[in-house]
């Protein structure tokens, strides 16, 4: 049974994601420190990340639609992972601001190129009855990489304190493994859209009008959620505000990723039994509870408990939402449907983090978490109310 569900292609795509996340998460904890050390101000770092996310947002929709129009997946997946891998050592080769902007933008462009096509491959390799398992397994492998990466970074910096540039070079190697694995992927015959070879940069926006009403109800709810789902950096800042050490902070981040990784496949299997919508809404309610409590935690045990439930929330929503979207879209539009959603989600995530920053600065940490948690609860209630309208057409 498991062998039939987890095909060779699903395993390959999942291991590609695992090695890519090892590379990315080796750098995540040290990126702000490194950028500061080469002369970037906090404002310049904000501009850099905002620009990178804008590129990712636009490209996810465009390249998702391009994959559907051309009827091809593997070239987009391979090119996307290549760009992300080669951007890592680029960050260390030169430290000129324009070069750093170029490298960071290429990394996010790579994510934009591959996301829709990769998720379409996962959808094509599964059935409606096992979408939760397939997307859950992929998220699990992806998140295992997100847990391994910071551990490797901690060990490296313990042995070589302050050698940030060398760490960027080291991060290239797991990325290289990911690229190599993409060459074992085989293109599956899909139907190209007739009469249109080169879609316009923003033509994917037209998908909203021709998409199923179920898709629109779902994506509207997910985007309300995304508008209140700020960067995980705010969770780490909350920990630091309680005078917990950097090692303790990174350790909790690793713990969260381990919970996320271990829970993704079982919760995906549960979602196939009880319903993707039910699991997704339960995950959003859990997120709301975590955020409502996060600003009031004061010690490591409390933070660990909240991060445990935060990992369960992530496992209940990340892969599940894409599995549900792929069920609501025509097969020929899978990458476009996912690309449209992830494109807007990138923009809304940027708005969410900006809003959280303003709330933290003006109203304080506790109220920021309370407002965010309340907003997500509104999204969960909305999805609960329209749940009957979100169904396979």
Following CA atoms 101, 105, 106, 107 in sequence, which dihedral angle do they give, to the nearest 10 degrees?
A: 110
8 Å CB contact between 298 and 339: no
Provide CB contacts within 8 A for 208, sequence distance 6+: 216, 340
Within a domain: residue 197?
no
Using alpha carbons only, what angle is made at residue 45 by residues 87 and 356, rounded to the nearest 5 degrees?
120
Phi-psi region of 305 (alpha: psi -120 to 50; beta: other; left: phi over 0): alpha
Within a domain: residue 145?
yes
Secondary structure of residue 200 in the 3-state scheme: coil
As a whole number of angstroms, the distance between CA 122 and CA 14 comes to: 9
pLDDT computed for residue 3 by the predictor:
45
8 Å CB contact between 231 and 349: yes
As a whole number of angstroms, the distance between CA 23 and CA 152 comes to: 10
Count CA within 13 A, CB hemisphere, residue 310. 23
As a whole number of angstroms, the distance between CA 302 and CA 298 comes to: 7
pLDDT computed for residue 191 by the predictor:
56
Range 339-364 burial, b when 16+ CB lie within 10 A, else e = bbbbbbbbbbbbebbebbbebbeeee
Within a domain: residue 199?
no
Within a domain: residue 80?
yes
The CATH number of the domain holding residue 316 is 1.20.1250.20
Q: Which has the closest alpha carbon to 170: 270, 33, 23?
A: 23
Residue with tokens 């310049």: 44
Structural domains counted in the chain: 1
Within a domain: residue 190?
no
The per-residue pLDDT string of the chain (393 residues; one tens digit each, 9 = 90 and over) reads 344 688 999 999 999 999 999 999 888 777 777 887 888 775 677 677 777 777 887 788 889 888 888 889 999 999 999 999 999 999 898 888 889 889 988 998 999 999 999 999 998 888 888 889 999 999 999 989 988 998 898 888 888 888 888 999 999 999 999 999 999 999 876 655 555 556 776 778 888 988 889 999 999 999 999 999 888 878 877 887 888 877 787 788 889 989 999 999 999 999 999 999 999 999 999 999 999 999 898 888 999 999 999 999 999 998 899 999 998 888 888 888 998 998 889 888 888 888 888 888 889 889 999 999 999 999 999 999 998 888 754
Within a domain: residue 123?
yes
Name the H helices within the chain: 2-5, 8-27, 31-37, 42-70, 74-93, 97-124, 131-159, 164-170, 172-182, 207-210, 213-227, 233-240, 246-274, 276-294, 300-328, 334-363, 365-385
**Mutual angle of helices 365-385 and 213-227, in 10-degree steps:** 170
Kindly calculate the radius of gyration of the chain based on its CA atoms and give it in whole angstroms. 20
Give the tokens for residue 38.
């080469």
Residue with tokens 């303790």: 248
pTM of the model: 0.85
Q: Which domain holds residue 55?
A: 2-184+205-389
Residue with tokens 């060398």: 166
Provide CB contacts within 8 A for 368, sequence distance 6+: 234, 295, 356, 359, 360
CA 195 to chain centre: 33
Within a domain: residue 317?
yes
């Amino acid at each position: 049974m498991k062998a039939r569900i987890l095909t060779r292609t699903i395993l390959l795509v999942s291991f590609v994601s695992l090695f890519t996340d090892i590379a990315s998460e080796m750098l995540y904890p040290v990126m702000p420190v490194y950028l500061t050390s080469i002369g970037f101000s906090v404002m310049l770092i904000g501009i850099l990340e905002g620009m990178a996310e804008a590129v990712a947002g636009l490209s996810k929709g465009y390249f998702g639609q391009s994959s559907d129009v051309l009827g091809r997946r593997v070239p987009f997946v391979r090119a996307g992972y290549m760009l992300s891998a080669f951007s890592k050592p680029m960050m260390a080769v030169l430290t000129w601001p324009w070069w750093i902007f170029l490298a960071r933008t290429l990394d996010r462009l790579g994510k934009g190129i591959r996301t829709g096509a990769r998720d379409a491959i996962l959808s094509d390799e599964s059935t409606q009855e096992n979408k939760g398992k397939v997307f859950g397994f992929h998220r699990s492998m992806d998140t295992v990489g997100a847990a391994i990466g910071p551990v490797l970074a901690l060990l490296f910096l313990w042995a070589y304190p302050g050698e940030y540039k060398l760490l960027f070079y080291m991060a290239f190697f797991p990325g290289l493994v990911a690229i190599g694995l993409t060459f074992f992927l085989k293109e599956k015959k899909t139907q190209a859209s007739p009469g249109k070879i080169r879609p316009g940069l923003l033509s994917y926006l037209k998908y909203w009008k021709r998409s199923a009403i179920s898709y629109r109800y779902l994506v509207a709810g997910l985007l309300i959620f995304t508008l209140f789902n700020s960067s995980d950096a705010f969770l780490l800042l909350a920990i630091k505000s309680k005078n917990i050490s950097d090692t303790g902070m990174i350790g909790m981040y690793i713990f969260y990723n381990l919970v996320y990784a271990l829970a993704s496949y079982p919760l995906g299997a549960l979602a196939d039994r009880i319903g993707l919508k039910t699991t997704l809404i339960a995950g959003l309610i859990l997120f709301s509870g975590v955020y409502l409590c996060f600003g009031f935690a004061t010690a490591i045990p409390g933070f660990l408990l909240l991060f445990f439930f935060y990992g369960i929330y992530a496992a209940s929503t990340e892969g599940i939402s894409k599995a549900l979207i792929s069920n609501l879209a025509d097969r020929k539009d899978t990458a476009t449907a996912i690309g449209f959603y992830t494109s807007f989600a990138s923009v809304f995530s940027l708005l969410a983090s900006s809003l959280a920053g303003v709330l933290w600065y003006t109203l304080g940490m506790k109220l920021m978490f309370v407002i965010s948690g309340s907003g997500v609860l509104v999204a969960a209630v909305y999805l609960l109310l329209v749940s009957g309208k979100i169904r396979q057409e």
